[in-house]
Homo-oligomer: A and B are copies of this chain.
């Protein structure tokens, strides 16, 4: 069974300035792992049309899915929907179904649904809407690109609604063995274990807590039996460690 691949594209000057930490990438990564879709690349680009278009086209050509975050609100710096339309070479306009959904968010749509807010109902031709149970303004899917909001609560809700509709592969299973020895000591035998278990990805993440050196050895695989074998081998590093 093949594992579908994915990339995430985060759009926004506020992430690149360091002012805002991107909470959406780790959230999506964990959700995709459970779904059996492998996140293979993440990019952050500024609110610049050419950069967004180029990144969307590079990533959608290469991965089974592209998930974007940010830039679909009502203000002047929200240019993602237009950039997606440009990337696909399709038109974009206010769509009636999106406008109707958006209208349900306002007490008096005739007044409240002003020109700025109506921008949130502009959908590229041929896209399908992604539900936003938090604040109504929908995301959308066009081709293999899923366009979602940057506000974390909205992004999370959109992901929760979208992922069940996608075809996943085998979920990526993982296990962790914590070893209270420096990674430089276990590196040799650890490398042998990694070579002996090619179907398991093994990572070594060192730490130093109050002067105690250790490492979390994380094994990941879609094959439960292979993962169990690798974890048993990693357990042995707790005791039988050479110089």
- A-side residues, CB < 8 A to B, are 12-22, 25-30, 32-33, 39-47, 51, 73-77, 111-112, 114-117, 119-120, 135, 151, 172, 174, 183-188, 190-191, 194-195, 201-206, 208, 218, 220, 243
> Closest approach, in angstroms, between the C-beta of A135 and any C-beta of chain B?
8
**In the complex, which residues of chain B have a beta carbon less than 8 angstroms from the beta carbon of A74?**
183-184, 187
CB-based nearest B residue for A149: B206
A67 to B43, CA, bound (A): 14
A53 to B90, CA, bound (A): 34
Report yes or no: B114 in contact with A184, Cβ–Cβ below 8 A: yes
Extra inter-chain contacts (20) besides given A74-B183, A76-B194, CB under 8 Å: A14-B203, A17-B29, A17-B30, A17-B39, A18-B27, A18-B30, A18-B32, A18-B33, A18-B39, A25-B44, A42-B43, A47-B203, A74-B184, A76-B195, A76-B202, A77-B204, A111-B243, A114-B243, A116-B184, A116-B191
Secondary structure dominating the interface of A: mixed
CB-based nearest B residue for A135: B208
> Closest approach, in angstroms, between the C-beta of A5 and any C-beta of chain B?
11
A219 to B203, CA, bound (A): 41
**In the complex, which residues of chain B have a beta carbon less than 8 angstroms from the beta carbon of A190?**
75-76
> Closest approach, in angstroms, between the C-beta of A235 and any C-beta of chain B?
17
Report yes or no: A18 in contact with B25, Cβ–Cβ below 8 A: yes
> Closest approach, in angstroms, between the C-beta of A6 and any C-beta of chain B?
10
